[in-house]
Amino acid sequence: MPRFHVLGSSGWVPTLARQTCCYLVETRRSLIFLDCGTGISRLHDPMFRGLLQKHRRAIVLLSHWHHDHIEGLQALPLFLGHMAVTVAGPGREICGESAADILARFGSAPLLPEPLPHWGKRFEGGFSIVELKPGRNTVDGERVDVIAQPHTHPSAGLRVRDVCYITDTVERPESIAFAAGSALLAHDAWMDRSDEVGGGPDTQAHSSAEGAARVAAGAKVGALVLAHLNPRYDAARLERMFLEAAAIFPATHLGTDMACLPCGAPEEAGGEAPPSGQEDAG
């Protein structure tokens, strides 16, 4: 059965309890990462040693290009160097610039020794960059559905296997249709009720926990994980925020680093990706 691992549940900056955005969908066929913030460092934990050793293919799906979602890319050769690795992120149709060009800037000297698009020799199975567009995409044999989202810079909602990932955007009716029927939804929950009611610039770029719960309820998902949590909030405030969301959608989980949840039906022996229920963009 596919499993959803929370590697990094914080937004913006890591805290003592939470690294920045990184989630792992573990399947029979491959390891599928949703964003690649500092949470990738959780793979140092011995619990992942066997998982990494048995897989030879990884896909890294990026929702957008803010640093808390991509700064772990530099660590990919350390953890995934024995694999074939594909990095896919929103490109020209969403951001107005190709994914390869954006990643070349991220990896150019003196920030890194060489541009990230030239990293092929660092991975035994090879390395490639794929550009995500709205609608249906195929990334290394996996169906990945994408929806463009408003944020301070455009972001992309992602759906792969039976998992939907919607972060760094406001509560939107389009998200309900996109996530409909998914086994697990990880949704931006940057604000609690008081911050949402108080207004301010965050309400134009992020969702509240209650907003995430309303999306989950409308989409009739199996479970909701509150993601991209605000590092300004202490544990007590996060707990209150969780209770606000759970009152709307009981099957809510507060994003907690190193947590693991089932995220779909048992896989066939071949491990092929099941349809996600979204139609082609045309």
pTM of the model: 0.94
Residue ranges with strand state E in 46-168: 57-61, 84-90, 127-132, 135-139, 142-149, 155-160, 163-166
Q: Given this structure, which CATH class describes domain 3-262?
A: alpha beta
Please report the pLDDT score of residue 32 as a whole number.
Answer: 98
- All structural domains of the chain with their residue ranges: 3-262
Q: Please give the chain's pLDDT, 282 residues, in tens.
A: 899 999 999 999 999 999 999 999 999 999 999 999 999 999 999 999 999 999 999 999 999 999 999 999 999 999 999 999 999 999 999 999 999 999 998 888 888 888 888 888 999 999 999 999 999 999 999 999 999 999 999 999 999 999 999 999 999 999 999 999 999 999 999 999 999 999 889 999 999 999 999 999 999 999 999 999 999 999 999 999 999 999 999 999 999 999 999 998 887 655 555 544 443 433
Please report the pLDDT score of residue 107 as a whole number.
Answer: 81
C-alpha span between 214 and 120 (Å, rounded)? 43
- If one counts every other C-beta atom within 10 angstroms of the C-beta of residue 155, the result is 26
104 burial level (CB within 10 Å; 0-12, 13-18, 19+)? middle
- Tokens standing for 268? 């066939």
